[in-house]
Chains A and B, each alone.
Chain A
Amino acid sequence: EPEVTQTPSHQVTQMGQEVILRCVPISNHLYFYWYRQILGQKVEFLVSFYNNEISEKSEIFDDQFSVERPDGSNFTLKIRSTKLEDSAMYFCASSRGQGNSPLHFGNGTRLTVT
């Protein structure tokens, strides 16, 4: 069964550094998402992406964040200047984009900002 893959599984970075989290969504899916889960807290929506542009973003997704689909397969999340509070699990998800089509999640990238 096709799956969403995320790399790396764990990223450690220093405060102020830029990080890029990578995702390969399921190939025939049209909508792509990033979610964040701070340790012990809820899964929070960051951004949705369709047709090469952001379709919706949350208040968390400020100017420090950006997303890109640089080719036909990868979907990336960039954090320009990381802060301690960016430490979290970041999940990529994709869907066919229909109302009855659930999200398919990757296993996440654990980002630790020191």
Chain B
Amino acid sequence: AQSVTQLGSHVSVSEGALVLLRCNYSSSVPPYLFWYVQYPNQGLQLLLKYTTGATLVKGINGFEAEFKKSETSFHLTKPSAHMSDAAEYFCAVMRNTGGFKTIFGAGTRLFVKA
């Protein structure tokens, strides 16, 4: 069975500081991994995805994530936080068979202090 664990339900950083949101997954087969962002009263938007190939993937708004198979991790980073980055971030794994079910982590709420 596939699952996703996000370490830290809340992360607070200062504007301009590094953002690091942690995600670990478990999967019996090579997974497809995603990060989504949710702003208040909105649906989830795709930030970035890893399917195959390069393990460092870049997404929108300056975010990137690195797939590390040996650590079963897919941490999300951004070198310099902006106030507009304050949102809820979800790591997700997609099962690449059948109905392509996507399973989400519990989410990490990012706070950005001025």
Contacts and interface: CB of A to CB of B under 8 A. Distances in A.
A63 B68 CA distance: 41
A99 B96 contact: yes
Interface in B65-114: 90, 94, 96, 98-107
Given A4-B43, A100-B49, A45 B32 contact: no
A17 B100 CA distance: 32
B6 to A, nearest CB: 9
A48 B99 contact: yes
Given A31-B100, A105-B44, A100 B105 contact: no
A99 B44 contact: no
A48 to B, nearest CB: 4
A100 B43 contact: no
Q: Which of B34, B52, B103, B105 has the most CB of A within 10 A?
A: B103
B51 A99 contact: yes
B101 A43 contact: no
A87 interface: no
Given A44-B104, A45-B101, A105-B45, 4 more contacts: A98-B100, A99-B32, A99-B96, A100-B52
